[in-house]
């Protein structure tokens, strides 16, 4: 395997950590070192590891069979549960990853509108699909001085793909209005994560989200909410908190109970593009493991365990941890902040106001400090994302969150002392 793993996101120098098992909010590596897991498979494991209800649900299905070339009742049950939490959606279809769900959402928007162009946010991550990767890692060398430039992420991306993606800065309604005024008749939809991790994990302003929805609908386009990460923030995800009504919603991660999963949900008239009506569907959609019954059963258990009370509890822990880390930056005399909302947090070594991807783009010193912070927490027995991302789980207690804060505080003091 190139670089020793098949996931770029888990790489570390001089080698990635290899884990052997996990229980609750802790994991053990192959050298039997124990860590508090504050990344939880990049937000997917909202109940931590080996949750008894999820294990029981998966094992019960495994005894009946792991996959079939036919539909099962389990997908109906999970579909009903998820649609019950999403007032904006009437229908849903399952995939095996958030990447696939985004891909199908974009295809659905294009089929429903008869248009080709997609608008996305500069720096936002929506999976490993050519169109959704555009301008994922823009730099000062290529992001331009005016309208955000569309740049390919992977080498070899066809120029035609990049041409059909328009990039705008986050939380900037004026920039969006300018794009819609110039090219609105060509735009199938706007792909938006209301709190995009790779673009800084900065929450969208409510007026921005509402203005975006109104403006996109005014030109006949569709609004696609990527809630693969943010669905954990409330019983109806971020759209419930922001009181927004997207046309299409993309889900993943927590809805699979620890198994690979994705879903695309939306209004009936939009989702109709997946249906056969006397012939081939406008957007055919298959997949050997779509709605895999093991995933569906574990997903049902995961969603049932994620009650409103549990969401509120881990959101409070996240708010307290975020405030504590901000105070730790100040006490250490380091420029920095911790942003996000609820159980999702991300650190930035900057003293500038954080509003979008460019405002949190790190200089050389900030990159070095973030690398040292990540390693410092690992050495203190806490796993977080290399970019400073943390995602709490229902398996964590206040004491566990305080232990993470202690590790963060000690690491920031160490960085301050070393310069």
37 is catalytic: no
367 membership: H or E segment, kind and range = helix 364-379
Residue from 379, 405, 380 nearest 390 by CA: 405
CB within 8 Å of 357: residues ≥ 6 apart: 121, 122, 123, 124, 138, 169, 170, 196, 198, 199, 200
253 is catalytic: yes
Please tell me which residue in 37, 226, 356, 400 is annotated as part of the active site. 226
Structure-token pair, residue 94: 């399952």
Residue from 79, 112, 116 nearest 261 by CA: 79
Structure-token pair, residue 116: 């080709």
Q: Do 293 and 72 touch, CB atoms closer than 8 A? A: yes
406 is catalytic: no
Residue from 291, 271, 297, 299 nearest 94 by CA: 291
Distance CA 155, CA 151 (A): 10
Q: Do 415 and 373 touch, CB atoms closer than 8 A? A: yes
Please tell me which residue in 120, 125, 247, 356 is annotated as part of the active site. 125
For residue 14, is the peptide bond before it cis, meaning its omega torsion is within 30 degrees of 0?
yes
Q: Do 190 and 225 touch, CB atoms closer than 8 A? A: no
> What does residue 145 show for φ and ψ, rounded to 5 degrees?
-110, -20
Please tell me which residue in 107, 117, 120, 253 is annotated as part of the active site. 253
Catalytic residues: 125, 226, 253
């Amino acid at each position: 395997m190139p670089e020793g793993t098949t996931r770029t996101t888990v790489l570390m120098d001089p080698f990635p950590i290899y884990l052997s098992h996990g229980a609750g909010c802790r994991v053990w590596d192959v050298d039997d070192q124990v860590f508090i897991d504050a990344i939880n498979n990049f937000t997917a494991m909202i109940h931590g590891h080996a949750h008894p209800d999820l294990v029981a649900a998966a094992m019960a299905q495994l005894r009946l069979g792991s996959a079939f070339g036919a539909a099962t009742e389990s997908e109906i049950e999970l579909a009903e549960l998820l649609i019950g939490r999403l007032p904006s959606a009437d229908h849903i279809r399952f995939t095996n990853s958030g990447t696939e769900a985004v891909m199908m959402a974009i295809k659905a928007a294009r089929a429903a509108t008869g248009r080709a162009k997609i608008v996305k946010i500069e720096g936002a991550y929506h999976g490993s699909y050519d169109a959704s990767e555009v301008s994922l890692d823009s730099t000062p060398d290529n992001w331009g001085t005016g309208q955000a430039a569309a740049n390919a992420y992977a080498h070899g991306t066809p120029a035609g793909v990049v041409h059909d993606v328009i990039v705008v800065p986050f939380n900037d309604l004026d920039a969006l209005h300018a794009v819609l005024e110039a090219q609105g008749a060509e735009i199938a939809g706007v792909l938006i994560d209301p709190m995009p991790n790779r673009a800084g994990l900065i929450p969208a302003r409510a007026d921005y989200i509402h203005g975006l929805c109104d403006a996109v609908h005014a030109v006949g386009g569709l609004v696609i909410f990527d809630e693969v990460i943010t669905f954990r923030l409330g019983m109806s995800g971020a759209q419930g908190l922001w009181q927004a009504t997207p046309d299409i919603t993309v889900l993943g991660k927590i809805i699979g109970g620890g198994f690979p999963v994705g879903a695309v949900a939306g209004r009936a008239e939009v989702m109709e593009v997946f249906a056969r009506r006397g012939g081939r569907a406008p957007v055919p959609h298959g997949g050997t493991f779509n709605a895999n019954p093991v995933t569906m059963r574990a997903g049902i258990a995961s969603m049932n365990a994620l009650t409103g009370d549990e969401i509120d509890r881990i959101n409070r822990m996240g708010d307290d941890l975020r405030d504590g880390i901000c105070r730790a930056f100040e006490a250490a005399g380091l420029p920095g902040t911790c942003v996000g909302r609820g159980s999702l947090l991300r650190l930035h070594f900057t003293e500038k106001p954080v509003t979008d991807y460019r405002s949190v783009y790190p200089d050389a010193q900030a990159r070095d400090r973030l690398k040292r912070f990540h390693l410092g927490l690992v050495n203190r027995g806490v796993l977080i994302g290399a970019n400073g991302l943390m995602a709490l789980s229902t398996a964590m207690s206040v004491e566990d969150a305080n232990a993470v804060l202690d590790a963060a505080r000690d690491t920031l003091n160490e960085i301050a002392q070393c310069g």
